[in-house]
Structure 1
Amino acid sequence: MFKGFGDFLLTQRGKRFCFGLVCTTTAGTILAKYFPNTFFLEQYRDVVRLYKHGLSVSLPEELKERFAKTIGLVGIGEDELKLFKPFTVFGFDPFHAGTSYSRFGSIIGIPINFTYKDTDSIDKSMIKLKNESVPWGTEEAAELLDSFILSEEAQMYAIAREIKTADSAKLILDTLYQTIAIAGTYSLSNFINTKLNLYSRPRSMRMALYAFITIFMVGNYCVLKDSTQIHYEQQIDEFLKGRDPLFVKGGKDYYEKVLQRNRALRKLLGKEGENRFSSLGNENFFIRQRHVPLLHRKQFFEANLVS
């Protein structure tokens, strides 16, 4: 059966089938990235927003005011303000989806811990690790709890960071990289097959070629995507540093708390925590460097705070 299908792919009809499959896959990849960030942005928000007793948690007034103050400091024009819609997101990390380059705008997720004033105001029963209760009597659990309390400056930095990311071309570039990777894999394979007449050679030779080209294109995609991510992270931090001294202190405070949280999670999660986080609180990545190390981002703001 496999041999028969392989022989079919060598025919003109089979080649047209492969071309159609690649076109469909490329289009599907673009739409899978495009639709949730445009036409289905509201539905996407409903998936990631915070719920309590089956009802969505509305954004508290104090956070609406903080968001408005932050977006004003960032320098978003009045005609673009409507493109950024805040909401309460699930979890303890700020979030964004969509882009200001689209008429659908962007959603900015603000976590509920931005309302915490002190550790006594935290509902510990709502916090789970791997669906289990946290051993609150331990030192690392106390550190975790304290890491959820953020200064107003730290909150405003985190919100500004998401606004500026949504206001960048990153989403467009990520979609472009995926498209190039898929279409490029097919085009390069087809070119080499035709140029070297590999269709008349053993199937194992073509399979080896496809594997090599796939690895090559995936590697290029990862390098481009990670380089773009790091570029925008550095660019946004540089922009916010020069925008207002509040963001300098806020960036330093924010990453200090995130590193503290990660160190606590490293101990609380055991082996999984050691795999996910370093002893300093940075995220561990296998081969790829997906983000600027958190410690470096904290040190960047610290250096500018001193000067």
Structure 2
Amino acid sequence: MAVQFLWKASLWLKKHKIPLLAVSCVGLFGANLSYHVFPEQTFKLLHECWSEGQPADLSQRLCGVFQDVLQDTGVKSTDSFRAFAASGFHPVSAGMPWLPAGSWVGIPLNFESTAEDKKGIVNHVVVINGKEVDWKSNEGIALTEALTFSLEAQKFAIAREVVYLQNSSPVASAIVAPACLAGTFLCGKGLKLFLGLSPGPMILRSICNLTAAAAGLMYYYVSYDAMIYHLDCKADRKAATVSKSYARGGVEFYDKILSRNRILRGLMGKQGMKMYAPSGNLFPRHWFRIKYTPYTYRRDLLVNILRELQAQEGSA
């Protein structure tokens, strides 16, 4: 009975493979993009910071900083971008400005802190390995310093999220999976035709299909990582070239992220060693994959941009 069912399913799949492929590609694209199509119902609820049972509010100062960034980055319709208080230690974003739902940028409350007033950090309880961080200890003081950003660094961090969404980066990253799926199908089909296996034994066709699927999966990993790398660098570069102060803020932002990660690596023990590289990059490299754009590379990119801007200013 089971063999008969599998045989019928195989015949049905063979007969409807093109429509099934099209539906699968559209479904993959929609699933990857759903997070950005409905950001208020998904992304915002996931990243929103709560205080005393209520969503935390952004201060007037941070709202003003956000509006300044929108103006500096050339956002024509400021209504398409909205900000909220986010959990975590650096900005996050989702959405697409040209859709009715617009875009949301989450600004962390540690951006409330300044060199003179650390209340945006020390008023929060941070637990690492079951122990509350003592903000008065050496590690706590170092972590507080790493979480305190200047106005220039805050503007850069928010600007890179804004330009990331302006570039339609969510669409570019979402299209990788369906493109690789379609490519895997076509390559498998072409390989069977090239080897003359289309009318051949099922076992040989199955081996060919498995080989194409394995190659397609590897290609997807490499392509997705390369796309994320490209989009991150593009957003950093565009945010840094707004002005010299933005580039300077970007260098500070990534310097402090690296410093924070090195501190967390020590505080978290074995788990920290698995999560952070000694340089402060997030997640050391996995085999042939680079799952995150290295912070060291992003900092060096901005250092070079800052030098170019300074050179242009000097020669002007």
Range into which the TM-score falls when normalised by the shorter chain: 0.7 to 0.9
Aligned position for 1:285: 285
> Number of aligned pairs?
302
Aligned position for 1:298: 299
Alignment of 1:3-82 (within 5 A): 3-11=3-11, 13-16=12-15, 22-38=21-37, 40-44=38-42, 45-77=44-76, 80-82=77-79
- Asked whether the 8 Å contact 1:193–1:199 carries over to 2, the reply is no
Give, as a single letter, the amino acid of the residue that structure 2 aligns with 1:68: Q
- How far apart in 1 are the matches of 2:281 and 2:238? 23
Residue identity (%): 24
Aligned position for 1:84: 81
- Asked whether the 8 Å contact 2:125–2:133 carries over to 1, the reply is no
- How far apart in 2 are the matches of 1:266 and 1:83? 38
- How far apart in 2 are the matches of 1:184 and 1:102? 29
* Normalised TM-score (structure 1): 0.86
Aligned: 1:94 with 2:91: yes
Query: Mind listing any 5+ residue stretches in structure 2 that lack a counterpart?
Result: 311-316
Alignment of 1:99-110 (within 5 A): 99-110=96-107
- How far apart in 2 are the matches of 1:138 and 1:211? 56
Aligned position for 2:109: 112
- Asked whether the 8 Å contact 2:90–2:108 carries over to 1, the reply is yes
Alignment of 1:1-307 (within 5 A): 3-11=3-11, 13-16=12-15, 22-38=21-37, 40-44=38-42, 45-77=44-76, 80-117=77-114, 118-119=117-118, 121-123=120-122, 126-129=125-128, 132-134=131-133, 139-193=138-192, 196-198=196-198, 200-203=200-203, 205-283=204-282, 284-286=284-286, 287-305=288-306, 307=310
* C-alpha displacement of 1:297: 2.2
- How far apart in 2 are the matches of 1:59 and 1:83? 18
Q: Pick closer, same or farther for the CA change 1:5–1:270 going to 2, 3 Å.
A: farther
- How far apart in 1 are the matches of 2:192 and 2:6? 15
- How far apart in 2 are the matches of 1:20 and 1:300? 44
* C-alpha displacement of 1:251: 0.5
- How far apart in 2 are the matches of 1:194 and 1:179? 23
Query: Mind listing any 5+ residue stretches in structure 1 that lack a counterpart?
Result: none
- How far apart in 1 are the matches of 2:289 and 2:98? 28
* C-alpha displacement of 1:181: 1.9
Q: Which runs of 4+ in 1 moved over 6 A?
A: none
